[in-house]
Amino acid sequence: MRFDKIIEDIKEWLKFYSEIERETYLALSLKENNFEKLEILKEKVKNCKKCNLSSSRINPVFGEGNIEADLMFIGEAPGEEEDKRGRPFVGRAGQLLTKIILAMKLKREDVYITNVVKCRPPRNRDPKNDEISTCLGYLIEQIKIIKPKVIVTLGRIPAKVFIKSSQPITRLRGNFYDYQGIKLLPTYHPSYLIRNESNIKLKKEVWSDMKKVMAFLGLE
Ligand code: URA
Ligand code: SF4
């Protein structure tokens, strides 16, 4: 690894970590119990005004599911329905994600589901880089608390956050990467499958990706 690349990575990490205030770290470090740690973080997100998305959101969407999940899904950002209900993946894309989870012989309650950015970007535009980096500290803490065995990222944006590569999602998907000792596999976003409903190849690719995850988790 090149030296300037190492420096760049360190700077990036420092930026993420500086985004969660000292006070939150102290509060988290005092709690043994993961449920309590997640509740502290959830409360922080509920009151968060660290980026502009706080002014247009209805509800922040922290994430939900099994706090001891082996499998964590990470989407991009809440959409309209998620913003209204304060829950991740409850709109059309969410219905498809739920079907995918069931096809994997799991239930929604078995996995943990969240997003890179916790508040809805206006008119569902892509979250901006500064919004992503400001919010990312919350996601990093969620991962540290839940400690899943596998993370599945949905679509281009969360893949770009975790994998330092200029390759498009079409190339990245279906491969396992490493994030802090956790297997991370990018696949397409369910909204992309919905937008390209007649393209059977995309559905097959997602299913083949999920089979890899199932094999890794011993679900077959
Ligand atoms: N799309 C996402 O990326 N996340 C959601 O929670 C809903 C739709
Ligand atoms: Fe805070 Fe994240 Fe919401 Fe921005 S998107 S206000 S950083 S919770």
What torsion do the CA atoms of 61, 51, 55, 48 make, to the nearest 10 degrees? 50
**d(C-alpha 162, C-alpha 153), whole Å:** 9
SS (H, E, C) 115-157: ECCCCCCHHHCCCCHHHHHHHHHHHHHHHHHHCCCEEEEECHH
Pocket test for ligand 2, best of 54, 57, 59 (most atoms within 8 A of CB): 54
Contact 112, 66 (CB under 8 A): yes
Provide the pLDDT for residue 28.
78
Ligand 2, atom 2: closest residue by C-alpha: 135
Provide the pLDDT for residue 23.
74
> Is 112 in a helix, a strand, or coil?
strand
Provide the pLDDT for residue 9.
63
Torsion sign, CA atoms 163, 169, 172, 178: positive
Q: State CA 18 to chain mean position distance.
A: 20
- Residue ranges lining ligand 2, Cβ < 6 Å: 45, 48-51, 53-54, 60, 117-119, 131, 134-135
124 Cα to the center of ligand 1, angstroms = 10
Provide the pLDDT for residue 67.
96
Domains and CATH numbers, the chain: 48-217 (3.40.470.10)
**Looking at this protein, which amino acid is placed at residue 149?**
K
> What is the value of pTM for the model shown?
0.91
**d(C-alpha 212, C-alpha 205), whole Å:** 11
φ and ψ at residue 19, rounded to 5 degrees: -75, -25
Provide the pLDDT for residue 122.
98
pLDDT-flagged residues of the chain (< 50): none
Provide the pLDDT for residue 19.
61
